[in-house]
Amino acid sequence: MVINKWKSRSSFILFLLPALAFYFFFAILPLLQGFWLSTTNWDGTAPWTPAQISIPVFEKKVLDQTPNPSDRALLLKYYTKNPAAGMYQRHDLYGLDRYRLLMIFSARGIVNPDFQNIGLKNYTDIFTGNIDPKFFPQNYHQAKFQEGDPLDNIRLISQDEWQRRFTNHIHDQTELSFLYQAYTLTPKGYELNKSFIPLSSTDIQTALTAIPGLGDAWNDFYGDVTDAGAQLKTPGIVDELIQKLGPVKAHKIAPSGLVQLQSLGQYAYKEAYLKHLVAHYWYVAKIRMGVLVFTIFFTVFNVLFVNVLALLLAFALDTKIKSRNILRSVFFIPNVLSLIIVAFIWQLIFTQMLPKLTGYSDWIMNPDIAPWLTVLVATWQGVGYYTIIYLAGLQNVPQELLEASSIDGARVWTNFRKVILPMMFPAITICLFLSTAGALKTFDIIFALYPSNSTAVGVDNVVINIFYDAFRDKHAGAATAKAVLLMAVILIISGIQITLTKKKEVEL
Amino acid sequence: MSSENSALPRRAKTVQLGWIIFELVMILLAMIFIYPTIYILINSFKGTQEIVVNPIGLPPHPSFENFISVLQREGAGGYTFLQSLLNTLLITVISVSGVILISSMAAYVLARTKSKASWVIFSIFAFFTVIPFQLIMVPLVVLATDLQFQNIWGLSLMYWGLGAPAAVFMYHGFIKSIPYSLEESASMDGASHTRLFFQIVLPLLTPITATITILDILWVWNDFLLPYIILKQGTLVLFQFNFFGQFTQDFGALTASLVMSATPIIILYFAMQKFIIKGISAGAVKG
Amino acid sequence: MKSFTKALFTMSTVALLGLGVAACSKPAPKTITLRLSLYKQEIAKQFKDLTDAFTAANPGIVINTEITPNDGGAAQAAAAAAGKLPDIIQSPAYAADFQLAKQGYAVDLTNLPVIKDVNPDLLDGVTYEGKIIALPTDVGTLGILYNKAIFAKYNLKVPTTYLELQQVAQTLKKNKITPFAGLLKENWSIGHFMELLHGSMLGAKGYDGLKGSAAIAKFAEDMNQGKADWGKVVDLKAMFRIMDWYHSNMSKNALNNAWNEEVAEFASGKTAMVVQGQWFINPTIAAEKAANTNFDIGFFPFTWSNNPAENKFFSSADSTFVLSTQSSPEKQAAAEKFLNFLATPEAIKIWTGEFKLVPAFKDADLSSMPSAFGDIAASESKLGSYSWEFSLAPDPTWENAMKNGALGYVLGKMTPDQIAASINKSWKENYKN
């Protein structure tokens, strides 16, 4: 089946060369260069050799110090003297010459600080956690109410929330009693007393401007009272602030105005105090997954859902139903569509269709649901492909085995476990391998589903993070280092998968 | 009611009814599953305002104006839809034919030569599956500018290099499963290697060639990241971003663009269905 | 005889060849072709009119326009590193231009005749180390666009203070009209707003003894050295209270809105105002035609302060043209002719009439543009403007720390202190010097 010697060595090389050459140039060479770049601090844009260099520096430091005539020719080929600007300007540079010039300049000691070899610093940075904190999981408080939100948002607080947020957490008696002053317990929950703060903040301010004699001082007064309330100062602060008012000292405000001032001040103070309290305690403690954990999350659930669904579909389709081939085709259609198109389709579904259908509009930008949405879309896109593989695997289970075991009286589940599953093992192996590698490297779907806002929502996975690191945050060197580590991880996981399945196959 | 009068025994009838219900359920599931694409299709016949007002319903005044507007639209880089379509077609044809040619040749010599060198070189090809694209992303951009490859030809050549490993891998496995007898007799008849390969072996490789061709067509046609960083615009996939960017205006054209871009590949799919499915299944069974 | 024929034949062949070579090497009529890259895709089609007009006025110089996509940073970076920059680069003012200048790619334009015609307020966005390294071509302005019909219907006056703005919003809500259209599906609009607040408050409060745009510029300088704290130079609590107010008065659908949806929300009359830039005006007019609403649009600065004099438009030189030092001196001279051409009435007419952009030149004729543009000129001649603080930040800081910080805040995922910390860190790290 195999020959030991080619009649002519040249044929071997000739046949092999094209593929090897292209592979080398466009995969291996960039790979090696990637390793090299990961040891630099290149930001992706800085020129490797100066685009402009002043005439004296160029001539003295570079030209004169370069003895080699071909090097000098090279320098002069790319740098033209522009006396008007006092500079030598470099133009159109590509190919190997770029590297030659780089070597000449670094030999002369002229390096761009944004393109220096920093050894393994990128790697140590990653391992010591000295990179973007968004990479790792973090606790955060999702604010349910911010200090500038309208009072209307907290007119009604359910008993549940009250218990969870306030009763369990507030220990300061002053704060608690303030809250109980503001709210009354009704069958609907805790309702804000209308008389507590009878005016809207806008109306309070409007009323302040209407106090004769106060003039422009109302603005600072309102600001000070609000700040005092937000700092949870005692109620007496309102009178203090009134006393400090210039127009009061100058008797420009009538007693009736003072009364107004006091009540308005109290309202503003109470509003700020209340809002600060609520904002401070009304949050949901959450964990932001971060890039690393999200990648794991996505991989695990995508692989799980895709394989389980595909398996189920394969079983369903491997029956006598007549439309089986058509159904198989239908389920495969999403897989032939471009991932970008798939993501754009689902973007429209999430932003237009679902809100109209369900009345609930916060789907795609909801940080809690968003990770699941990405898993959903990726699963939808991939399930058809694996269904086909599982179907093929199922069709390899000999009928006799199935019939034999059911004659035995074996139940469906045992049948499944002991007979079908082991025979499907190659198919399961392939699917697990492919789906895991694919999930780890998923880029297009998430990128198109969340163009430019994936970071804010929290659905950056490692490959998207690398992409943004290189092209948005301008850390080409560091980003490539991350990619090297990713490669190592994929190697390890693939290795584990292969060894495990090889072992299992042997057992079978 | 006695069952002796009916054509089938009672139990079988229930079972048959069960199967019919099951089939209907599966059909329903498939329709729900494919609904998102139908949603886009329906909306592409609505005007922009109509979509905003009622995204779910049927078009009140179905029209082709969105499609016409997409055809007329000059996107980033001055590329129209048809130009993007043509570019993508060109890139795909050049890339895939190149990959097939060079990979089959390389895999042939690797599979038929039993030597250390052959094993090493094959492993180097197989190694590619663990390389994440992001690792070679930045160097590829640098390389592309160095070689001035930021055009269709350059991109296609890059696909030759990136598609060769997987194709070599698949060809290698397939060739190993072909008995050597045909080649042996032909080479004893004095055939040169080239004749041997192109006239005898290549036809035998048709099934796997078909599979690789289809898979690579799907890959290159739909690829996003490489064209994005090398060309920035000009392929059909990149054309979509004209409608999802910061300052886009025409909502209806957005859905029409998605439909029009998906159509060629869907047509290809339905035409080559049998091949695709056979190819994927065969790959799976071989393991 | 044979050798003579041979010699004759050889000589005549040589002579003929020589003539042929001479003829072929006769210089063709000299046309200089310049490459120009645009990032403003929305004017791409009409830009040809401008280049054609220029070639008509300056025969022998042809300009080929290429479009760079939104993420042009990567494309330009690759081209620059390879030495293949276009001859004329359209580049956003401030950081992008300064970056080009710092890396040595920008030609010094200080003595170019056309610079004298530029509105002097806009020059700080193109001045690097004392030299003018780009030509500002148009102005970007952020503020509140409003539906004049709705305002008239409810007798609303254009607000000049924060209280008046709140009153307007309150009245609108009482009448079941959403005050602001919103765009929260992407991060740039809310990023603009956060920076608008920060920059305006900083300019009003002053920094290091300076006020207005000078304060913003000094602040940016200090941020470059890591000497300033974004969160401490303004009253951060008050600033985010205004953010909260704005968010709570935004349409409930804002999270699902991208550009198209926001235009639809405003143009349909469902919302009365929208915080956007002047680039929003013409698409709205177009959408109004489709929706048959046809109302006039007005423009006023976002009135965050209760002191009317402090409420200025947030304006800056938006796009500029940089000439590449990588081009030959001949091409640079030709490119300079193009820049000088831009200040001619002919070019300005194309710029306002076709591109619908506000030119950066003094006393430009805006009469062909909708009245909302005139509102910009009116307010700025009285009050001036604050420059775009975010333009002075390094690109990664604006793209990531600021934009994603603002979006993260409205999603409830980041606190003001965290945003400030990430901006401080990113600004210092990414400032290249």
Q: In terms of domains, do B69 and B134 share one?
A: no
- CB A279 within 8 Å of CB A143: yes
Q: Which of C41, C84, C289 is the best mutation test for B, with the most CBs of B within 10 A?
A: C41
Query: Is A196 at the interface with chain B, CB within 8 A?
Result: no
Q: How confident is the model at residue C29, as a pLDDT?
A: 58
Residue A438's nearest CA partner among A494, A395, A485 is: A494
Q: How confident is the model at residue C328, as a pLDDT?
A: 85
Is C1's pLDDT higher than 70? no
Q: Can you tell me the mean pLDDT for C192-213?
A: 93
Q: In terms of domains, do A280 and A345 share one?
A: no
- Tell me which chain A residues have a C-beta less than 8 angstroms from the C-beta of C408: 456
- Place C70 in a pLDDT band, splitting at 50, 70 and 90: low
Task: Look at residues B215, B235, B255 and tell me which one is the last residue of a structural domain.
Answer: B235
- CB C197 within 8 Å of CB C243: yes
The B residues from 228 to 257 touching A (CB cutoff 8 Å) are 229, 236-237, 240-241, 244, 254-255
The B residues from 97 to 116 touching A (CB cutoff 8 Å) are 101-103, 105-114
Query: Could you report how far apart the first and last alpha carbons of chain A are, in Å?
Result: 28
Query: Could you report how far apart the first and last alpha carbons of chain C are, in Å?
Result: 80
- Please report all neighbours of A, defined by 3+ CB atom pairs within 8 A: B, C
Q: How confident is the model at residue C177, as a pLDDT?
A: 95
Is B4's pLDDT higher than 60? no
Query: Is A406 at the interface with chain C, CB within 8 A?
Result: no
Distance CA C28, CA A160 (A): 86
Q: In terms of domains, do B177 and B50 share one?
A: no
A136 burial (CB, 10 Å; 0-12 / 13-18 / 19+) is middle
> Which tokens belong to A480?
């490539």
Dump pLDDT digits (tens) for C207-266.
999 988 889 989 998 999 999 999 999 999 999 999 999 999 999 989 988 888 899 899
Q: In terms of domains, do A413 and A457 share one?
A: yes
Q: In this structure, how many other beta carbons lie within 10 angstroms of the beta carbon of residue A306?
A: 27
Domain with residue A435: its CATH number is 1.10.3720.10
CA distances from C165 to A251, A271, C242, C249 (A): 31, 20, 11, 11
CA distances from C79 to A463, B122, B158, C396 (A): 24, 36, 19, 19
Those residues with Cβ within 8 angstroms of residue B230's Cβ, 6 or more apart along the chain or in another chain: B140, B141, B144, B149, B150, B154, B155, B158
Range of the domain at B105: 76-235
- CB A317 within 8 Å of CB A388: no
CA distances from A100 to A49, A70, A75, B257, C20 (A): 10, 11, 10, 47, 39
B137 is a domain residue: yes
CA distance C308 to chain A (A): 11
Q: Can you tell me the mean pLDDT for C264-279?
A: 92
Those residues with Cβ within 8 angstroms of residue A383's Cβ, 6 or more apart along the chain or in another chain: A306, A309, A310, A313, A331, A334
The stretches of A417-461 forming alpha helices (DSSP H) are: 421-423, 425-440, 444-449, 454-457
Domain count, chain B: 2
Q: How confident is the model at residue C22, as a pLDDT?
A: 44
Q: In terms of domains, do B146 and B33 share one?
A: no
Q: In terms of domains, do B204 and B183 share one?
A: yes
Query: Is A99 at the interface with chain B, CB within 8 A?
Result: no
Q: In terms of domains, do B169 and B204 share one?
A: yes
Dump pLDDT digits (tens) for C400-419.
999 999 999 999 889 999 99
Dump pLDDT digits (tens) for A145-166.
999 999 999 999 999 889 888 8
A205-214, C8-17, C170-179, C196-205: segment of lowest average pLDDT: C8-17
Residues forming beta bridges with residue C386, ordered by sequence position: C314
- Tell me which chain C residues have a C-beta less than 8 angstroms from the C-beta of A474: 73, 395-396, 430
Q: In terms of domains, do A172 and A207 share one?
A: yes
CA distance C291 to chain B (A): 7
A214-218, B53-57, B253-257, C136-140: segment of lowest average pLDDT: B53-57
- CB C335 within 8 Å of CB C327: yes
Query: Could you report how far apart the first and last alpha carbons of chain B are, in Å?
Result: 54
A vs C: CB pairs below 8 A: 173
Paired sense of beta strands A156-157 and A87-90, if any: unpaired
Q: In terms of domains, do B66 and B139 share one?
A: no
- Is there a shared CATH topology between the C32-137+318-343 domain and the C140-315+385-430 domain? yes
CA distance A456 to chain C (A): 5
B271 is a domain residue: no
- Tell me which chain C residues have a C-beta less than 8 angstroms from the C-beta of A206: 163, 167
Residues forming beta bridges with residue C320, ordered by sequence position: C91, C136
Residues forming beta bridges with residue A3, ordered by sequence position: B113
Q: In terms of domains, do A283 and A349 share one?
A: no
Is C151's pLDDT higher than 70? yes
The distance of Cα B69 from the centroid of its chain, to the nearest Å, equals: 27
- CB C277 within 8 Å of CB C121: no
The C residues from 4 to 43 touching A (CB cutoff 8 Å) are none
Is B2's pLDDT higher than 60? no
Domain count, chain A: 2
The B residues from 7 to 66 touching A (CB cutoff 8 Å) are 19, 22-23, 26-27, 30, 33-34, 36-37, 39-40, 43, 51, 54-56
Distance CA A352, CA C256 (A): 8
B277 is a domain residue: no
Distance CA C258, CA A351 (A): 10
Among the partner-chain residues C42, C78, C268, the one whose CB lies closest to the CB of B247 is C42
Dump pLDDT digits (tens) for A385-416.
899 888 888 877 776 665 555 555 556 666 66
- Tell me which chain B residues have a C-beta less than 8 angstroms from the C-beta of A358: none
Q: In what order do the strands lie in the sheet with C88-92?
A: C61-67, C32-38, C88-92, C319-323, C135-136
Distance CA A94, CA C83 (A): 7
Q: Cβ of C73 and A367 within 8 Å?
A: no
CA distances from B20 to A268, A318, A321, A329, C115 (A): 70, 15, 8, 20, 80
Q: Cβ of B49 and C291 within 8 Å?
A: yes
Distance CA B36, CA B54 (A): 16
Tell me which H or E stretch contains A505.
Answer: helix A476-507
Paired sense of beta strands C297-300 and C138-147, if any: antiparallel
A76-90, B172-186, B210-224, C189-203: segment of lowest average pLDDT: A76-90
Range of the domain at A463: 290-472
Q: Cβ of B102 and A19 within 8 Å?
A: yes
- CB A329 within 8 Å of CB B273: yes
CA distance C78 to chain A (A): 7
Distance CA A24, CA C413 (A): 45
Mean pLDDT of chain B: 82
B282 is a domain residue: no
- Place A308 in a pLDDT band, splitting at 50, 70 and 90: very high
Three-state helix/strand/coil letters over B61-87: CCCCHHHHHHHHCCCHHHCCHHHHHHH
The A residues from 320 to 349 touching B (CB cutoff 8 Å) are 320-323, 327-334, 336-341, 344-349
Distance CA B237, CA B220 (A): 10
> In the CATH hierarchy, which fold is given to the domain comprising C32-137+318-343?
D-Maltodextrin-Binding Protein; domain 2 (3.40.190)
- Please report all neighbours of C, defined by 3+ CB atom pairs within 8 A: A, B
Among the partner-chain residues C74, C163, C261, the one whose CB lies closest to the CB of A206 is C163
Q: Cβ of C104 and A456 within 8 Å?
A: no
Distance CA A255, CA A259 (A): 6
Q: In terms of domains, do B85 and B23 share one?
A: no
> In the CATH hierarchy, which fold is given to the domain comprising C140-315+385-430?
D-Maltodextrin-Binding Protein; domain 2 (3.40.190)
DSSP chain B: --GGGSSS-HHHHHHHHHHHHHHHHHHHHHHHHHHHHHHHHHHTTS-HHHHHH-SSS--SS--SHHHHHHHH---GGG--HHHHHHHHHHHHHHHHHHHHHHHHHHHHHHHHB-SHHHHHHHHHHHGGGG--HHHHHHHHHHHHHHTT--SHHHHHHHHHHHHHHHHHHHHHHHHHTS-THHHHHHHHTT--HHHIIIIIIHHHTHHHHHHHHHHHHHHHHH--HHHHHHTSS-SHHHHGGGTSSTT---HHHHHHHHHHHHHHHHHHHHHHHHHHHHHHHHHHHH-
- Tell me which chain A residues have a C-beta less than 8 angstroms from the C-beta of B270: 329
B273 is a domain residue: no
Quick one: DSSP state of residue A144? S
Residue B70's nearest CA partner among B60, B56, B83, B80 is: B80
- CB B261 within 8 Å of CB B78: no
- Residue given tokens 């190592």 in the structure block: A488
CA distances from C300 to A252, B181, C193, C375 (A): 34, 86, 14, 7
Q: Provide long-range contacts, Cβ within 8 A and 24+ apart, for A168-175.
A: A169/A281, A170/A277, A170/A281, A175/A232, A175/A277
- CB B205 within 8 Å of CB B171: yes
The C residues from 277 to 336 touching B (CB cutoff 8 Å) are 279, 283, 286-287, 290-291
The count of C-alpha atoms lying within 13 angstroms of the C-alpha of A256, restricted to the half-sphere facing its C-beta, is 3
Query: Is B53 at the interface with chain C, CB within 8 A?
Result: no
Enter the ipTM: 0.85
Q: In terms of domains, do A370 and A270 share one?
A: no
Q: In terms of domains, do A284 and A303 share one?
A: no
Q: Cβ of A353 and B145 within 8 Å?
A: no
Distance CA A160, CA A171 (A): 18
Distance CA A334, CA C67 (A): 32
> Which tokens belong to A167?
């009763």
- Tell me which chain C residues have a C-beta less than 8 angstroms from the C-beta of B137: none
Residues forming beta bridges with residue C139, ordered by sequence position: C317, C358
Is B1's pLDDT higher than 60? no
Q: How confident is the model at residue C7, as a pLDDT?
A: 52
Q: In terms of domains, do A282 and A294 share one?
A: no
- Tell me which chain A residues have a C-beta less than 8 angstroms from the C-beta of C397: none
Q: In terms of domains, do B156 and B92 share one?
A: yes
Q: Which of A43, A52, A87 is the best mutation test for C, with the most CBs of C within 10 A?
A: A52
Sequence spans of domains, chain C: 32-137+318-343, 140-315+385-430
Q: Cβ of C399 and A472 within 8 Å?
A: yes
Q: Cβ of C82 and B142 within 8 Å?
A: yes
Dump pLDDT digits (tens) for C105-140.
899 999 999 998 887 767 878 888 889 999 999 888
- CB A405 within 8 Å of CB A415: yes
- Please report all neighbours of B, defined by 3+ CB atom pairs within 8 A: A, C
The distance of Cα C192 from the centroid of its chain, to the nearest Å, equals: 12
- Tell me which chain A residues have a C-beta less than 8 angstroms from the C-beta of C414: 140
The count of C-alpha atoms lying within 13 angstroms of the C-alpha of A206, restricted to the half-sphere facing its C-beta, is 12
CA distance C191 to chain A (A): 12
Q: Which of A452, A459, A464 is the best mutation test for C, with the most CBs of C within 10 A?
A: A452
CA distances from A74 to A52, A104, B146 (A): 16, 10, 16
Dump pLDDT digits (tens) for B201-226.
888 888 888 888 888 998 899 898 88
B269 is a domain residue: no
Q: In terms of domains, do A163 and A267 share one?
A: yes
- CB B236 within 8 Å of CB B88: yes
B156 burial (CB, 10 Å; 0-12 / 13-18 / 19+) is buried
A163 burial (CB, 10 Å; 0-12 / 13-18 / 19+) is exposed
**pTM of the predicted protein model:** 0.84
B32 is a domain residue: yes
Q: Cβ of A2 and B282 within 8 Å?
A: no
Dump pLDDT digits (tens) for B235-266.
888 888 777 665 555 678 888 888 888 888 88
Q: In this structure, how many other beta carbons lie within 10 angstroms of the beta carbon of residue A19?
A: 30
Q: In terms of domains, do B183 and B54 share one?
A: no
Query: Is C306 at the interface with chain A, CB within 8 A?
Result: yes
Q: In terms of domains, do A282 and A344 share one?
A: no
Q: How confident is the model at residue B286, as a pLDDT?
A: 53
The distance of Cα A317 from the centroid of its chain, to the nearest Å, equals: 37
Q: In terms of domains, do B81 and B204 share one?
A: yes
